[in-house]
Amino acid sequence: MTALFSSALVLASDVLAAEVGGPAPAPAAGGGQTQNPMAGIWALLPFVLILIAFFWFTSRSQKKRDQKRQEMLNSIKLKDDVMTIGGMYGRVVQIRDDEFVLRVDDDKDVKVTVSKNAVSRRVGEPEAQ
């Protein structure tokens, strides 16, 4: 997103440079009006406002999703069934600082240690959109 924003700023600065830095038009023989150099800035104002609103709304919704995911990860407790991002199902048997120990096979007592960020969702809850 920052690449899009920076390219929009470069485009806007090029347009402003062309508007403001260009040669001034010669006045007409009858004493006509000269073009206002600030007209280019006012023409770009709606586009700049739309870009600012777009970035504000997208960052706000991303923050909400991140906060909701962090709350889900913090609410996982022992004996919860979870699914990892890779699609592996397991039951939480131990919680460490930044990882879970999952039992993936009860018969053979197979345990796997995964990062907390590798947990996609709790089983039994609807998937996040």
Spans of all domains in the chain? 2-28+37-74, 78-122
Position 11 confidence tier, pLDDT thresholds 50, 70, 90: low
In this prediction, residue 34 has a pLDDT band, given cuts at 50, 70 and 90, of: low
Q: What is the pLDDT of residue 6?
A: 62
The percent of residues in the chain predicted with pLDDT above 70, rounded, is: 68
Question: What H or E segment, with its residue span, contains residue 39?
Answer: helix 39-75
Structure letter (DSSP) for residue 88: -
Does 32 have pLDDT greater than 90?
no
Enumerate residues 6+ apart whose C-beta is below 8 A from 104: 88, 89, 90, 110, 111, 112
Question: Which residues lie across from 101 on neighbouring strands?
Answer: 94, 113
pLDDT at residue 75, rounded to an integer: 92
Q: Considering the entire predicted model, what is its pTM? A: 0.55
Cβ-based burial of 29 (10 A; exposed 0-12, middle 13-18, buried ≥19): exposed
